[in-house]
Amino acid sequence: MCRSCPALSFKFYVTTGKAFESMPNFRKLCPEEKDLSYNSLSAENNSKSSADATNITSKVYRSSKPDFLTEQEVEQFNALNIQSIIDFRSYSEYKRSHHKSIKLLDKQYALFKVEVPQWSTYKQHEIVVCKKVSGASDNNCRKHYLINFFNYNYVWEVFNRVPILMRIVSLFYLLIDFILRNDKRYFVRFFAKQTLNQQGIVGQYIDFVTHSQASICAALKLLCDPANLPVMLNCAYGKDRTGMVSAMILACLGSSKEYICQDYARSAVELKPVEEILVDDVVGKYHLCRTFTSAESHNMMRVLEYIEEKHLVEIFFKVLFAKIMSVVVLKQKGEIQDIGDHRSPQNRTVLMHPHWRYERYGSICGYLEKIGLSIQEQQVLRNNLLS
């Protein structure tokens, strides 16, 4: 519903002194133990790390959309040997962006639309289904995946937050948008006033982790395939949708919440050269409040804490039930004598259910398991990105 990153204007070609002038917020995504320099977020260090980004080998990069790359920048991009692009925009949003000229990367990457479940999430070990849309014909060519974050489930949940009379009124705005072909501008403005501005950017991120679970899971499952690496993650500005998936990746790799929030907050510095365009797109076009243009670390911290609080209780009772059932079964088999004797070596072995190792996996990894990324798949992802 709330696309806080619509199409950029041609003013996007600005002099920033970064590795890719037409693709700001480009940087490598490193786990905490791999790049301690992330702990320093001064403007000087951020500028240096961005400028050096193309000279550093990495498995995962994150960025704003690559639609405006020049021919010279495409050569720099190719030097990174990026095998796939995971783009968190819908096909229609992708086509609207920079539609008056050719996206140079389309000549080198085949475009695929990921068919994410609309009203549910993935099952563990379920394969991600993709439909080829356009692009290079070579079967061995690199791939550009489009994953829509704003699926039917997300839109329906936001739509039903307002009274029924307001929903009827909103449909008239949607009809006007359809007639004028103006990218649902009035429809989003209506909901911005009614509900989106009240919840702010933290509320939008919570909506992502609650109602866009299939999109998040699809991206992580694609990272489990070594053929997709190295990979670049992007949305429009590389801040919100990309920021949320990047946070899940870093959490899966064992990074602390503080470090994840620091990485997220770097977008504020990296997007400073295009701040005026960002504000015009978000505030001017859709009438969303200024918080939707921010990237403050405490906002991401609130979302991570929300995930922990929401899923910790669920995981606890799931584990407790599994432990009790294990003990009861072994008691019936006569393999243990006293269920209450937790000091027994046999009982200690029984109680070591994999999910109980909370300190090792963390509640965010428990959340990932719930949305369809199994413990085994998470381990594959770690091995792929850390090997």
Domains of the chain: residue spans and CATH: 10-306 (3.90.190.10), 317-365+376-386 (no CATH)
Q: What are phi and psi of 215, to 5 degrees?
A: -70, -45
According to DSSP, residue 59 is labeled: S
Closest alpha carbon to 380 in 363, 368, 370:
368
Q: How many CB atoms are closer than 10 A to CB 186?
A: 18
Listed in sequence order, the residues at least 6 apart from 277 whose beta carbon sits closer than 8 Å to its beta carbon are 8, 9, 11, 12
Find the length of the chain.
387
Q: What is the per-residue pLDDT for 87? A: 98
Q: Are 61 and 228 in contact (CB under 8 A)?
A: no
pLDDT one digit per residue (tens) for the chain, 387 residues = 545 444 444 333 333 446 789 999 999 998 876 444 434 443 444 444 444 433 334 899 999 999 999 999 999 999 999 999 999 999 989 988 865 567 889 889 999 999 999 888 899 999 999 999 886 656 658 999 999 999 999 999 999 999 999 999 999 999 999 999 888 899 999 999 999 999 999 999 999 999 999 999 999 999 999 999 999 999 999 999 999 999 999 999 999 999 999 999 999 999 999 999 999 999 999 999 999 999 999 999 999 999 988 766 665 666 677 777 776 766 676 665 554 554 455 444 444 444 433 333 347 988 999 999 999 999 999 999 987
CA atoms in the 13 A half-sphere facing the CB of 289: 15
Q: Report H helices in 224-357.
A: 241-252, 257-270, 275-279, 286, 297-333, 345-350
The phi-psi region of residue 25 (left if phi > 0; otherwise alpha if psi is between -120 and 50; otherwise beta) is: left
89: closest CA among 268, 233, 270, 205? Answer: 233
Alpha-carbon distances, residue 3 vs 77, 128, 135 (angstroms): 27, 24, 25
Amino acid at 154: Y
Q: Model pTM? A: 0.80
Give one DSSP letter per residue of 91-114, joined into a string.
HHHHHHTTTTS--GGGGTEEEEEE
C-alpha span between 1 and 192 (Å, rounded):
9
The sign of the CA dihedral 60, 63, 65, 66 is: negative
Q: Which residues contact 308 (CB under 8 A, 6 or more apart)?
A: 363, 364
Q: Please state, in angstroms and rounded to a whole number, the distance separating the CA atoms of residues 17 and 305.
A: 36
The number of C-alpha atoms within 13 Å of 6 and in the hemisphere containing its C-beta is 21
User: From CA 366, how far away is CA 162, in angstroms rounded?
Assistant: 32
Confidence (pLDDT) at 310? 76
pLDDT for res 268: 96
Q: Where are the extended beta strands (E) located within the chain?
A: 27-28, 60-63, 84-87, 109-114, 130-134, 142-146, 231-234
